[in-house]
C-alpha cells in the first residue's frame, strides 16, 4: 500500500489562505486535523499560519509565517508525537489543559490577523470564545475540504482496500438473505464480516431495508423478517485506516422482481450505469446528476428520486464534492465520488444502486466491484 503524502498538505493550505487574505486558520474539524497532520485523536486544535503574504499581520506576531501548532491534552501526548513524526508533518505540538492549549494558540497567533475559523464546524459559542481569545477572527469555509477533494495515491489505496473489504463481506453473507433473517440480523452479520475482513469499523450505520421499508432511502434495520418477494436495499461500507467505502445494492429475495418493481430496477440500473459512464475529468458534478435524473424522469418517476445522485467520500462518508443539482465542482483526476440514483414507491418498495468511483485521466474506475445481482434464491 502506497504511503499517505501528508507533509505537503500544509503548504497547499497556506496557498489557499494567502489567496483568501487570511493570515491563519484555526482547524477544529477532526477529519481536517487528521488530514493535515496524521493525528487521529478525539480532541485537538490545529493553528496554521499562512505563507505570510496574506492578511495584515502575518509576520508581526511571535509566531511568524509558515508555522503549524497542534494542541491536545495529556491523553494524546505519546500518540500525537508518534503520528506526527510518522506523517513527517511539519507541525509543533503543545500538550496541556484546555486553558494551556488556548494560551499556546494565542501566543502563536499574537499580532496575526485576520484569523479564519472553520465556519461550517464551529458552534456559535465556540466562535465567540475564539473571538474573545484571538480578536480578529473571520468565518471561512471549505479550505481544507477543497484540498481533500482530490485524493493522493495512498488515500486511493486505502479506499480501494475499504471497498474490497466490503465486497468480500457481502459475498460471505449474501446467502443469508434467503434464510428468513431479520433486517437487524443481516446488518449485524454484514458488519461482523467487514470487521473480520479487516475493517476498523463500518463506514456508517449499515442500511438494510426490506419489503416496503426499501421505499425509505435511509431506513434503519428493524426486526422485520426478510421474506420471499422482498426487495432488499443494502447500503453499507467499511472504514480502513480512516478512509471509507460506500456501496448500495438492491436484491430481490426468491427470484427476479415482477411487475412495477421489475421496471423500477431496470430504470435505476440504467440510470446508474449512465451516471457512471458520465464520470470523467472536466465534467461538472451537476451534469452527472442530470444524466441520472433524466433516465428516471423519462420513466415517469422524476418525483420519486428525491435525493442527490452522489457525494465525495474519504475520511468522511459524505464530503465534497456534492453530486447534485447544487454541485458546483468540476470532476478532476483523483476525486472519489459515488453515483447512487434511486426510485422509491411508498408502500411498494424502492431500488437504489451505488458505486464509489475514482476519477482517472480519461474516465473513472470503480472501487466497489460487487456484481449487480438481482435475485437471491
Kindly tell me the burial class for residue 197, based on how many C-beta atoms sit within 10 Å of its own C-beta (0-12, 13-18, 19 or more).
middle
Near Co ion by CB under 5 A, which window of 48-56, 75-83, 159-167, 334-342?
A: 334-342
- What whole-number distance in Å separates Cα of residue 37 and Cα of residue 83? 8
Near Co ion in 117-176, by CB under 5 A: none
Radius of gyration of the chain, Cα coordinates, nearest whole angstrom: 23
Q: How many residues bind Co ion (CB under 5 A)?
A: 2
- Strand bridging mode 201-202 / 349-352: unpaired
Residue from 322, 338, 364, 368 binding Co ion (CB under 5 A): 338
**Quick one: cell of 130?**
475564539
Q: What is the nearest approach in angstroms of Co ion to the Cβ of residue 34?
A: 21
Determine, following the binding rule CB under 5 A, whether residue 322 of this chain makes contact with Co ion. Answer: no
CA gap 374, 377 in Å, rounded = 10
Looking at the Cβ atoms of 261 and 353, the one nearer to Co ion is: 353
**C-beta of 17: minimal distance to Co ion in Å?**
31
Q: Nearest distance from residue 340's CB to Co ion, in Å?
A: 5
Nearer to Co ion, 157 or 246 (CB): 246
Closest contact distance (angstroms) between CB of 179 and Co ion is 27
Range 141-162 burial, b when 16+ CB lie within 10 A, else e: eebbbebbbbbeebbbbbbbbb
Min. distance of Cβ 366 from Co ion in angstroms? 14
Q: How far is the CB of 199 from Co ion (least distance, A)?
A: 17
User: 201-202 and 137-140 as β-strands: parallel, antiparallel, unpaired?
Assistant: unpaired
Q: How far is the CB of 318 from Co ion (least distance, A)?
A: 7
Q: Which stretch binds Co ion (CB under 5 A): 97-105, 182-190, 211-219, 335-343?
A: 335-343
Position closest to Co ion via CB:
246
Query: Burial, 175: exposed, middle or buried (Cβ in 10 Å; 0-12, 13-18, 19+)?
Result: exposed
Residue among 121, 195, 140, 170 at smallest CA distance from 24:
140
Binding segment (CB under 5 A) for Co ion, from list 105-113, 182-190, 195-203, 336-344: 336-344
**Segment interacting with Co ion, rule: CB under 5 A, options 67-75, 89-97, 320-328, 330-338:** 330-338
Residues 220-279 that bind Co ion (CB under 5 A): 246
For the CB of residue 27, give the shortest distance to Co ion in the complex, in Å: 26
Q: Cβ closer to Co ion: 230 or 316? A: 316
Region binding Co ion by CB under 5 A among candidate stretches 42-50, 59-67, 141-149, 333-341: 333-341
Of 214 and 338, the one with the shorter C-beta distance to Co ion is: 338
Contact between 231 and 267 (Cβ < 8 Å): no
Q: Which is nearer to Co ion, 72 or 338 (CB)?
A: 338
Task: Summarize as ranges the residues that interact with Co ion (CB under 5 A).
Answer: 246, 338
Amino acid at each position: 500500500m502506497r504511503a499517505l503524502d501528508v507533509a505537503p498538505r500544509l503548504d497547499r493550505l497556506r496557498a489557499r489562505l494567502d489567496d483568501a487574505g487570511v493570515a491563519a486558520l484555526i482547524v477544529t474539524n477532526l477529519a481536517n486535523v487528521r488530514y493535515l497532520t496524521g493525528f487521529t485523536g478525539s480532541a485537538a486544535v490545529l493553528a496554521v499560519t499562512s505563507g505570510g503574504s496574506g492578511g495584515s499581520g502575518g509576520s508581526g506576531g511571535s509566531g511568524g509565517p509558515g508555522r503549524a501548532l497542534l494542541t491536545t491534552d495529556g491523553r494524546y501526548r505519546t500518540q500525537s508525537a508518534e503520528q506526527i513524526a510518522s506523517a513527517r508533518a511539519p507541525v509543533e505540538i503543545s500538550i496541556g489543559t484546555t486553558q494551556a492549549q488556548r494560551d499556546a494558540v494565542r501566543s502563536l497567533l499574537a499580532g496575526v490577523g485576520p484569523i479564519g475559523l472553520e465556519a461550517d464546524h464551529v458552534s456559535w459559542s465556540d466562535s465567540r470564545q475564539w473571538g474573545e481569545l484571538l480578536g480578529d477572527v473571520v468565518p471561512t469555509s471549505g479550505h481544507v475540504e477543497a484540498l481533500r477533494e482530490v485524493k493522493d495515491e495512498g488515500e486511493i489505496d486505502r479506499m480501494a482496500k475499504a471497498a474490497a473489504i466490503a465486497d468480500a463481506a457481502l459475498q460471505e453473507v449474501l446467502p443469508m438473505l434467503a434464510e428468513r433473517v431479520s433486517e437487524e440480523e443481516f446488518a449485524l452479520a454484514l458488519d461482523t464480516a467487514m470487521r473480520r475482513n479487516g475493517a476498523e469499523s463500518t463506514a456508517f450505520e449499515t442500511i438494510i431495508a426490506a419489503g416496503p421499508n426499501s421505499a425509505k432511502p435511509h431506513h434503519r434495520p428493524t426486526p422485520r423478517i426478510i421474506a420471499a418477494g422482498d426487495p432488499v436495499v443494502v447500503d453499507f461500507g467499511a472504514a480502513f485506516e480512516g478512509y471509507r467505502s460506500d456501496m448500495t445494492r438492491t436484491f430481490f429475495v426468491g427470484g427476479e422482481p415482477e411487475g412495477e418493481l421489475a421496471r423500477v430496477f431496470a430504470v435505476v440500473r440504467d440510470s446508474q450505469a449512465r451516471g457512471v459512464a458520465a464520470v470523467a475529468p472536466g465534467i461538472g458534478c451537476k451534469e452527472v446528476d442530470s444524466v441520472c435524473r433524466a433516465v428516471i424522469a423519462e420513466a415517469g418517476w422524476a418525483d420519486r428520486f428525491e435525493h442527490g445522485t452522489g457525494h465525495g467520500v474519504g475520511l468522511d462518508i459524505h464530503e465534497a464534492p456534492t453530486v447534485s443539482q447544487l454541485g458546483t465542482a468540476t470532476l478532476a483526476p483523483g476525486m472519489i465520488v459515488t453515483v447512487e440514483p434511486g426510485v422509491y414507491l411508498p408502500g411498494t418498495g424502492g431500488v437504489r444502486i451505488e458505486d464509489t468511483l475514482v476519477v482517472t485521466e480519461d474516465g473513472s474506475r470503480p472501487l466497489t466491484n460487487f456484481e449487480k445481482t438481482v435475485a437471491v434464491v
